[in-house]
Each structure stands twice: as C-alpha cells, then as structure tokens.
Structure 1
C-alpha cells in the first residue's frame, strides 16, 4: 500500500444489489489510484460484504492477473444480481392505485421512467395520462391539451 493511501468509504457489496453499480462506485472512489492495478486489486475485497468476500477468498491463486480480470470474474459470479433495464412498455402497466395520491403515483411513474433511461417522450407522457383514473381532472386536462413530453 502506498504510504499516504487512505481507504475511501465504500458501499459494501452484499450480493443483492446491482454489481455494475457497485463496480462503478468502487472505480469512482478509487479514481486517483486507477492507474495502480495492484492497489485496485488489493483494496477491492474491502468493498465486499460477507458473501462476496467468501467468493473472493475462494478464488484460485493465479486465476486473476489484473483488475479488469478480477472485475470480469466478479461479474461472472454475481451476474444474476445485475439489474435489467426496464423497457418503455413497462410504463403501460402503471396505474394510479385506489387511494393513491397523485404525488405518489407521479413519483412511482418517474422512478420507473428514470430506470428506463428515456424513450419516446410523447408515449411516456401518454402512458402517464392513461394511468390516471378516468374521472381525474388532470386526465381530462391532459386529454384536451396533450403534453409533448414529461416536463
């Protein structure tokens, strides 16, 4: 370890969260040392929770020769924990629940929209409108003046 190295605070990988997000967070936190392949490998286990640490400790000696190989092995082992992006048609199933406030529905909708990562804005705005109750004043207003996008 370099003499002035201070271990950054990492989110501990539990095996139940997105592995790509975890690796991205790790690389970001270690960005000042990204050129030091050995240090990147040596510190990586400190970002792992118990399950992933058992996997790491069980790696065969000599199997991994670089940080990129370590991350590749990590990805192979925990692939089932990576999140799959939702498709835009997932928005079609969104409906405002009975007793749900407009704010809660909009927050749920926008959370799913953000997971999708974009798409045809007219369709997105239209599916939001279709999820509102038929007797909703907002739905009626959006029908009279259809929005171009979610803004």
Structure 2
C-alpha cells in the first residue's frame, strides 16, 4: 500500500481492514457517497474518535487524586499509575531534550495536550533539522567548488 498512497480508491477500500468492532460499525454506517477522498475519510475518522485520545497530565494531577472510600486499593493504584505514566512521558520529554533548542522551547511554551503530541511535534522539528543539514551540505559543496574554480583561475 505504501507504493499506492496516491490511489484514493485503493486506500479507502483497504482502510476498513484495519478497524475493529466499534470503528468498523462506524465505517459500515457511513452514508454511501459521503466520502470524497481518502483524506476526507481520515478527517471523518479522526473527528469521530478524537475524544478517545489520552490527554496529557501534569504533576499536579497526581496531587489532586483521591482514594475514594468505596474504591478498592488495586483499582486506585491502577488509576494512579495510569496518570503517573502519562505525566512521566510528557515531563520526561522536556527533561531529556537539550535546553535552549527550538523543540525544547516549543514544549515549554506550548505544553503538549496529548501523550502523542510531543512525538507529532518532534516530526516537524526533525524535518526542519534535515532540511537545514541538506542546505548546509549544499552550501559546503558550492563553496568547495568555488574554491576549486578560484584555484584553477589563479594557476
């Protein structure tokens, strides 16, 4: 499929093979002719299931949690550890990324709202870094060629 990503018809026909029960039922109940393109299908799917995204938590979320009187300890620990893991994932990203880099600044200034957001945001910074490296290599090649041409002219 990776070779046919421009084939909307194929992508739309293959999409339901990746779905399980509730999502597959949602797909089957789409009105016929309501999807104009694979991007349209993706947009509708995301808007349908966006609410299922786990929201990132900050450390204060741990301090506001309470063990309810009627809650079993195991249930509370499961809930607490889920929140703790969400906090740690987002906070860890901020701690391990080099301070002062544009990506670190982005994480501090605009705190991620979901667990996936730091990785999604990082993709843009990776593309920017790659483009800058490519441009730097191109400039280096051009400068080397210019130096060679200058040496040849001088001889």
The two structures share one fold, judged by TM-score above 0.5:
no
What is the TM-score when the length of structure 1 is the normalising length?
0.42
Greater gyration radius: 2
What is the TM-score with the length of structure 2 in the denominator? Answer: 0.41
Task: Indicate the structure whose relative CO is greater, using CA pairs within 8 Å and at least 6 residues apart.
Answer: 1
Between structures 1 and 2, the one with greater helix share: 2
